[in-house]
Chain A
Amino acid sequence: MSLRTLLRIAWEALVRNRVRSALTILGVIIGVAAVVVTVSIGAGARASVQASITGLGSNLIIVIPGNVTLSGVRTGTGAASTLTPDDGLAIAKLPHVAAVSPGVGIRTQVIAGENNWSTTILGAAPTYTYIRQWSLSAGSFFTDTDVAQSAKVCVLGQTVVDNVFPGASPIGKTVLIRNVPFTVIGVLSVRGQSASGQDQDDTIILPYTSAMQRLTGTIFVSAIAVSADDADTIAPVETEITRLLEQRHRIVGDEQDDFNVRSLQDIANAAAATTAVMEYLLAGVAAVSLLVGGIGIMNIMLVSVTERTREIGLRIAVGARGSAILEQFLIEAVVLASVGGAIGIALGVAGAAAVATFGHWPMLVPLDAVLLAFAFSALTGVFFGYYPASKAAHLNPIEALRFE
């Protein structure tokens, strides 16, 4: 018998028992929908976590000065003055380093016309926008030439713009920072709060040379931001930086480093591990529900075989081979499970979209997971349909025809 004929016989039998068929596939629908939703929640959560980690910086490594001990009083990490812009230039030459930006930070009052505002001034290199993955909403960022000339140019965060230049475009205007006039050449895009709750838009960025020479008067920098060229090279680059700086700072043997190298890798790893555990958990729950759905199919198929004993007897009497009966019931089970799978996928995608909307993360429905769920539901049909189908195929036609 052709597959088309078999499918038609199965379909007609299922349509004949619409309500029961619908109830049977409910389990599979829920199971597959659960798989799709959970997998997409997992993928969405992972993407969301990854995005926020990437937002901190592209494969970011931060080098900060170490602590110092003055008259027995140990300062905290970062208080020492040990890092120079030349350290940064040397780090930039290491392999797998994509970008380096020395950083100088001060907090001070800025003035523009009749407005003034206290904000964080950050001296940085032009690579800073790449390292922090931060774009401009207006104007342009300063260049290497500006750095070389210690140019009096700056880029404002949106919070500064709102407070110092309310309702006007700040481009081309002047702000006084510690009485030094800087020309505003750009505005940073809005970034909102950092993970620790700080307003990242409350800042002014200017060339680090300008900050050092015109504002702080120091030859040291307070941090060096480094971007590795790949997530996998973060760890080796960290090691290389440590070795390089120990060499440059003449630190030998057991002597304590006068700097610290830190990356977000640990945070990223922890976050990835957490989401992975969550995904396994969700997938486990989904698999169990699919299993329960499969048992539901077997249950109803067994009832169906009993209820249709006479029909099966008749089919055998009019010449159905055992294999044809087996195929018919197997195909019924597979059609049931597949229809359930298809509906489940549709519901699952809708559910994933709803969850993504509430969770404020990207809607991600991995195609392979969907196909896998569908294939698995069809397999559920085969697996749980086999026993009832083989029971049907082995019925004694004489007894089956007498069955009441």
Chain B
Amino acid sequence: MSDAVPVVRLERLRKLYQLADQPTVALAGVDLTIERGEFVAIMGASGSGKSTLLHLIGLLDRPTSGRYWFEGNDVARLDADALADLRSRRLGFVFQSYNLLPRTSAIENVELPMLYAGVPDDERRERARSALAIVGIAELAQHESNQMSGGQQQRVAIARALVNDPGLILADEPTGALDTTSSHEITQLFRRLNAEHGMTILMVTHEPDVGRAAQRIVTMRDGAIVSDAPVAEALPV
């Protein structure tokens, strides 16, 4: 795996926020490398900086200092439009609250990233269908988001994240709003995407059960990585 360019490579990544006159350190120099095909879970208490890290890796925010190569590109050199283009073609996002477009069918939600990536109409529909099939809800293509259960909505969101065949799927507490059963199903879905479809996945969670689906656990505290270990070491059963 190490012969290829890593999907993510971070060097001393820092992020400071100015909160009420007081500079707050969100990330205090993070080094992290994620290789193609890995399934990594970032764990830690709230305020540990895991969401900030996810946003930086997801190119939604820029670091205060430090360097970040995404698939070999030094993102500091890219302008806002180039970052947007990378997000639409190489990154897939899954959020805790699904964030589907209201009153819009599942398939149209899945097509959304392809609109911005400039995929032609026919191909767009075709790829959206197969993405829905991969997450196991092909039959719900025409259902509107508000007619679906939480688990189903999160599947649509996952289909939306993988439809452009991204280099990295970023999941921010993807099971945080789900009941135990749905949570387990979604966790297994991520595991399957990684194992069967070779998707590289970075997931933020604070639930050990969910974290166990990953191969590698990165634990954070106070804006720094305190441990980075295979799942068996980090979360022994």
Contact = CB atoms under 8 A, between A and B. Distances in A.
Interface stretch (A106-114, A314-322, A338-346): A314-322
B233 interface: no
A321 B116 contact: yes
B117 A321 contact: no
Given A12-B104, A318-B87, A398 B112 contact: no
A322 B104 contact: no
B103 A319 contact: no
Contact of B84 (A5, A16, A313, A321): A321
B101 interface: yes
A322 B116 CA distance: 11
A152 interface: no
Contacts of B139: none
B102 interface: yes
Interface string A309-332: 011011111111111100000000
Contacts of A252: none
A181 interface: no
A80 interface: no
Given A1-B116, A9-B115, A401-B99, A321 B81 contact: yes
A397 interface: yes
Nearest to B170: A317
B27 to A, nearest CB: 14
B118 interface: yes
A398 B55 contact: yes
A398 B59 CA distance: 10
A320 B88 contact: yes
Interface string B64-82: 0000000000000000110
A357 to B, nearest CB: 44
Interface in A269-293: none
Contacts of B108: 12
A315 B93 CA distance: 11
A324 B116 contact: yes
Given A16-B103, A401-B99, A317 B60 contact: yes
Contacts of B86: 319
Contacts of B91: 319
Given A316-B84, A317-B87, A319-B85, A398 B60 contact: yes
Chain B CB within 10 Å — which of A317, A318, A324 has the most?
Answer: A318
Contact of A318 (B61, B102, B116, B118): B116
A116 B151 CA distance: 103
B184 interface: no
B226 to A, nearest CB: 24
Interface in B124-180: 160
Contacts of B81: 321-323
A318 B164 CA distance: 10
Chain A CB within 10 Å — which of B91, B113, B116 has the most?
Answer: B116
Contact of A319 (B55, B61, B95, B116): B116
B206 interface: no
A311 B99 CA distance: 7
Chain A CB within 10 Å — which of B61, B93, B99, B108 has the most?
Answer: B99
B58 interface: yes
Size category of the A interface is 20 to 34
Interface residues of B, number: 28
Given A315-B116, A398-B61, A401-B99, A322 B80 contact: yes
Contacts of B104: 12, 16
B143 to A, nearest CB: 16
B154 to A, nearest CB: 14
B170 to A, nearest CB: 9
A316 B99 CA distance: 12
B89 interface: yes
A398 B108 CA distance: 23
Nearest to A311: B101
A398 B86 CA distance: 17
B80 A321 contact: yes
A322 B79 CA distance: 11
Interface string A362-404: 0000000000000000000000000000000000011001000
A397 B85 contact: no
Nearest to B93: A317
Contacts of A323: 81
A397 B113 CA distance: 15
A318 B60 contact: no
A310 B84 CA distance: 17
A2 to B, nearest CB: 8
B87 A319 contact: yes
Contacts of A398: 55, 60-61
A321 B99 CA distance: 18
A320 B117 CA distance: 8
B60 A16 contact: no
Given A317-B87, A322-B81, 5 more contacts: A16-B103, A318-B88, A318-B112, A318-B160, A398-B61
Interface of A: 1, 5, 9, 12, 16, 310-311, 313-324, 397-398, 401
26 contacts: A1-B115, A1-B116, A9-B115, A311-B99, A316-B60, A316-B87, A317-B87, A317-B93, A317-B99, A318-B88, A318-B116, A319-B84, A319-B87, A319-B89, A319-B116, A320-B88, A320-B116, A321-B80, A321-B81, A321-B84, A322-B80, A322-B84, A323-B81, A398-B55, A398-B61, A401-B95
Please name the 6 residue pairs, one residue from A and one from B, whose CB atoms are nearest each other, closest first: A319-B88, A319-B87, A318-B113, A321-B84, A319-B116, A314-B99
Interface of B: 55, 58, 60-61, 80-81, 84-89, 91, 93, 95, 99, 101-104, 108, 112-113, 115-118, 160
